[in-house]
């Protein structure tokens, strides 16, 4: 249903209705039924509303509940109901796109299906790259699934690193850490009653979101480092992390700075960028956990 995601579909009315409705409900859940505290919110607000024209924004966060999006954008003062400014987001195909009705709803809501396990060169990743190259805002949950444990984050998938590296215009990357949507005392626990999540967000809880500082990557310098990993060198990566090698014949030609890189070099580049982003999100998540516990 790619046609449903086009802004001209029915003059954009379905998109405006869907995002206004979901955004309004999310704001009620976050600001009226619960309390929220957002650190460095001005940075996020500025980048969403006033970044230079044509400059893409990629926000990255941990993933603690099925309602992280849209609840994490519903704090007071953020344009969560504005369809033009709303994020694009990668959403699991096997959860959000299981029937025509769901597919239509999520498509008009600016969601791009992602097929877990299909690699970083799948057509849906190219669609996400198209939106980024148009200067849009893209949000990702690189853990790949909900995690409500308070241990270290799951290893981030390399897709986020590939989107940063393959973008025609260098994107601004903004890491975000949050807590409050998870566990039995929070807004949307995975195991609440009879081992299932609640039908609606819980009330009277505290949500803490910590927005980091923008990250920009020097692709010329990273390219030079990546070129040390030639095709003749043994791959430094485990076989379980070789999704970037999938279906190379179908891989879209990358920007000029990636032309000279072989598979090992690209693997190092995607992995390095992803690891830097994960480290930033991890630090912010622990800061959010500490703030939430102190105020509980």
Provide the CATH number for the domain around residue 58: 3.40.1130
Residue 171: is its pLDDT beyond 50? yes
Strand 206-211 and strand 172-179: pairing?
Answer: antiparallel
Q: What is the DSSP letter of 258?
A: G
Query: Domain for residue 296, yes or no?
Result: no
Q: What is the pLDDT of residues 69-120, one digit of tens each?
A: 999 999 999 999 999 999 999 999 999 999 999 999 999 999 999 998 888 8
Look up the pTM and report it: 0.88
Residue 247: is its pLDDT beyond 70? no
Determine contact, residues 213/81, Cβ cutoff 8 Å.
Answer: no
Q: What is the pLDDT of residue 184?
A: 42
Determine contact, residues 82/19, Cβ cutoff 8 Å.
Answer: yes
Give the total number of structural domains in the chain: 1
Query: Domain for residue 139, yes or no?
Result: yes
- Residue in this structure with the two tokens 């600001």, named with its chain if needed: 31
Query: Domain for residue 215, yes or no?
Result: yes
Q: Apex CA 56: angle with CA 53 and CA 60, to 5°?
A: 145
Q: What is the pLDDT of residue 59?
A: 98
Residue 147: is its pLDDT beyond 90? no
- Residue 46's domain spans which residues? 2-289
Q: What is the pLDDT of residue 239?
A: 42
Please indicate whether residue 7 or residue 240 has the higher confidence score (pLDDT).
7
């Amino acid at each position: 249903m790619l046609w449903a995601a086009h802004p001209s579909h029915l003059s954009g009315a379905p998109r405006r209705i869907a995002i206004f409705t979901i955004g309004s409900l999310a704001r009620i859940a976050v600001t009226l039924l619960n309390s929220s505290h957002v650190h460095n919110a001005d940075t996020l607000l500025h980048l969403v509303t006033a970044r230079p024209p044509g400059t893409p924004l990629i926000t990255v966060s941990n993933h603690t509940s099925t309602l992280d999006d849209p609840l994490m954008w519903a704090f007071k003062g953020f344009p969560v109901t504005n369809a033009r400014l709303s994020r694009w987001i990668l959403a699991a195909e096997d959860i959000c796109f299981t029937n025509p009705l769901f597919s239509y709803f999520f498509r008009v809501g600016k969601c791009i299906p992602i097929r877990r396990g299909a690699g970083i060169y799948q057509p849906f990743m190219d669609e996400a790259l198209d939106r980024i190259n148009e200067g849009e805002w893209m949000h990702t949950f690189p853990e790949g699934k909900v995690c409500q444990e308070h241990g270290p984050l799951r290893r981030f998938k390399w897709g986020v690193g590939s989107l940063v590296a393959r973008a025609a215009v260098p994107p601004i990357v903004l890491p975000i850490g949050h807590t409050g949507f998870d566990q039995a005392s929070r807004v949307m626990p995975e195991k609440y009653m009879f081992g299932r999540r609640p039908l609606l967000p819980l009330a009277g809880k505290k949500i803490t979101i910590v927005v980091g500082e923008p990250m920009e990557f020097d692709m010329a310098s990273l390219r030079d480092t990546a070129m040390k990993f030639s095709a003749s060198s043994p791959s430094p990566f485990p076989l379980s992390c070789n999704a970037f090698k999938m279906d190379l014949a179908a891989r879209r030609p990358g920007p000029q700075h990636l032309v000279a890189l072989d598979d090992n070099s690209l693997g190092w580049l995607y992995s390095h960028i992803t690891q830097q982003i994960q480290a930033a999100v991890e630090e912010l998540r622990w800061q959010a956990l500490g703030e939430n516990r102190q105020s509980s």
